[in-house]
Amino acid sequence: MSVLEFVPAMISALAALAWPVGIVVVVFIFRRQARAWLTDPPSVLKLGPGGFEAQWNRQLSAVADAVEEASMLDVTKSPSTETDVPSEQLPPVTENPPLVAIVEAAADVERALTNRFERAGMTYDTKRGMAVRAEFAYQRGLISEKTAASVRGLNIMRNLAIHGPGYVSDTEAREFVALAEAAIYAIDQAG
């Protein structure tokens, strides 16, 4: 086989191997994400004009666990897992629709953080949301890391409820209110 025959044969062989090698490289690069995806698959997958969306039920469970550890209160679990407290035993939301109850509970968390700053003799820009306030409080030692993490989780849940495409049930709103109350308790007990 001459060089003129060998070079095109090698190029053709490399071209045939390019896509399998490319797949192996992509899998190698994203191996951690793929492992996480396989061990904790999303509960909802959506594909539409806005792109690909996945929702995990673990967000509610993680926030509930963080709030429970931070405040030492009994907090309900996600309805997709085993529920510790029947939904009829959760505190009533309000006479308002579920989204309004969620917004009001989030505002109560923001007020609790602002009150914590005032008790510490600090001022804070009240135009900031609860996640930024929680980080500010944590950095200054006013609340624990777990309390700050639970408030960040509540912020994410509030944003998903308000801006998400789905309907928020009364039970979900009551669970959010219970989590918010636990976070407020933890904030009030700090320091």
Cα–Cα distance, 108 to 181 (Å, whole number):
8
CA separation for the pair 111, 133 (Å, rounded) = 10
User: Tens digits of per-residue pLDDT, 74-90?
Assistant: 444 444 444 444 445 44
For 143-189, how does the pLDDT look when each residue is reduced to its tens digit (9 = 90+)? Answer: 999 999 999 999 998 888 888 777 788 888 889 999 999 999 999 88
> What are the boundaries of each domain within the chain?
3-39, 58-189
pTM over 0.75: no
Nearest in space to 155 (alpha carbons), one of 131, 175, 177, 184: 131
Q: Rounded to whole angstroms, how far apart are CA atoms 163 and 158? A: 8
